[in-house]
Amino acid sequence: MYRAPLRELRFVLEELLGTGTLSAYPAFADYSDELGASILEEAGRFASDVLAPLNHTGDVEGAHWSPEGVRSPTGFKEAYRRYAEGGWPQLGADPRFGGQRAPQAVSGAVQEIIAAANLAFKLCPMLTHGAAHALELCGSDAQQRLFLPKMISGEWTGTMVLTEPAAGSDLGLIRARATPEGDHYRLFGQKIFITWGEHDFTDNILHMVLARIDGAPAGTRGISMFIVPKVLVAPDGSLAQRNEVRCMSIEHKLGIHASPTCVMEFGHDRGAVGYLVGQPNHGLENMFVMMNTARLAVGVEGYAVGERAFQQAAEYARTRLQGKPPAGRGPGPAPIVEHPDVRRMLLTMKSCTEASRALAFYAGTQLDLGAHHSDANARTAALERGELLIPIVKGWCTETGNETAAIGIQIHGGMGFVEETGAAQYLRDVRITTIYEGTTGIQSNDLIGRKLGRDQGAAMRALVTDMRRELRMLEAPVPAAGQVRDAALRAVEQLEHATHALLTGMAENPAHGFAVSVPYLKLCGLVGGGWLLAKSAAIAARGLGGEDRAFYAAKIRTALFYATHVLPAATGLAQVVEAGASSVLETGVECI
């Protein structure tokens, strides 16, 4: 059974990141650590009592398609009703339309809890939040008044509608078209891989659709964004007639079976009515508003499923009797958690999850500072850092989540390979997170092509400088904390050298960087996680004399394990970044 790691979440929010200090900014004036703790406690209770019990049954039953629509697995519709009634869609949304502002790290913590309990369920409100955020920033006043209150209340849901059969990651190939008609457009085209594109949770679904207005330029310059309701909405907000939007089928997938992945048709006769969001031919820019929100959320999903896999593996290891460890005492078999290699695997799962969580929440906090800091220069610097970290969080945290779920199966042994234990579902479910919102390769290309490229690495150098400065200032009241600090400092130096080599190579040949972009992204995540765990160990060392000494002691031991077993991989990744491009670029496709 899943239990939200509330103490760990509060440690990251309150002690490591100090999110309570955000209350100094008007947007978060009502926020406090006490309020955050209350939110997390309620989220944990809802996740454990309502969502987690549906995770396995939803996986087995799956979503059901018929020509009349899609029916969610047993219990999911009722769970969504309770989710909406509990006010969870309002968290982090615009207060002008019924939302409740909260630090992004706090919203991320709630997203972690929901995703760990039931990833398939969580995808629906996550996409709604992204669609609402796009309307908040890009929609007209009339669109915001008409659609946002129902989305933020949870009465309606939203989707992202990008992919087509011939246009996957290359959105410039989109063929869906939009014909002007009065104050709206008529859309025609087919879209695929639309998560929760049709369901029975709500009476209406608002699709954020990318299409090309008749006569628009070719490629990405000619893409516009439209809001296309499943059911048309009257000016007073009431539902009118059904729009020409229908789900043609749902996919049969490796995992997240309870989440319908839909083939959607827009305009089988006169065309689906859609409303232009923002300016014509600027749809890709608007969609990136949604996509950045979604990329951060998917990064959280990746390590959240890893947290769930860790909890189950740890419980199994404590109760599974098998063999006798080298230093075992007494007759008979021992719990496998006593075996050194099993303990090593569990610590790998635990430490990588904690590092991922810290990095994701840190990125969210930077985005908040980028939006709300009182100093303009500080806002700019924080926003640039948050944007720099988004592809790292999305790519590294999801890759790490996949590795963690795989280790969970290994700990279960043969029982992990059969579905009855549930360990296999976590691996099947988390696999999509490295693909959602752009594969890891796309994230790494964004990291080096856009984020490093826009300022020739200035934001990354600033981050490296801050990491080094903070690590050097850390006090180490216990030797283990000092070991973690020193290991993190060495890794930061390796990241700095690798970054310099990458930028130098790209200046001579841009393809150089793209040949090693994924190893570089992983290096950034690995080192960023080590930096934050070193800070965590120093904080924990100061708390060893209090009532929470067992928790703090575990924090130090976990950070030390990361420093000695996980962080050394930075050496190999740095070597790949510095010297590995030529072996890719000089190998012809005929050799593959």
Catalytically active residues, by annotation: 437
Alpha-carbon distance 491 to 282, whole Å? 41
How far apart, in Å, are the Cα atoms of 24 and each of 21, 129, 382? 6, 25, 16
> Is residue 212 within 8 Å of 179, Cβ to Cβ?
no
The length of the chain in residues reads 592
Alpha-carbon distance 360 to 9, whole Å? 12
| DSSP tag of 277 | E
Q: Which residue type, as a one-letter code, is found at position 54?
A: L
Q: 474: which 2 tokens?
A: 């850390």
How would you classify the pairing of strands 157-161 and 205-213?
A: parallel
**Contacts for 38 with CB less than 8 Å, ≥ 6 apart:** none
Beta-carbon count within 10 A of 65 CB: 18
Torsion, Cα 452 455 456 462, to 10 degrees, reads -80
Alpha-carbon distance 271 to 268, whole Å? 6
Alpha-carbon distance 383 to 381, whole Å? 6
**Contacts for 313 with CB less than 8 Å, ≥ 6 apart:** 345, 346, 349, 407, 408, 411, 412, 423
Q: What angle do CA 40, 43, 49 make, to 5 degrees?
A: 135
Alpha-carbon distance 528 to 234, whole Å? 49
**Contacts for 96 with CB less than 8 Å, ≥ 6 apart:** none
Residue with tokens 């679904």, as numbered in its chain = 205
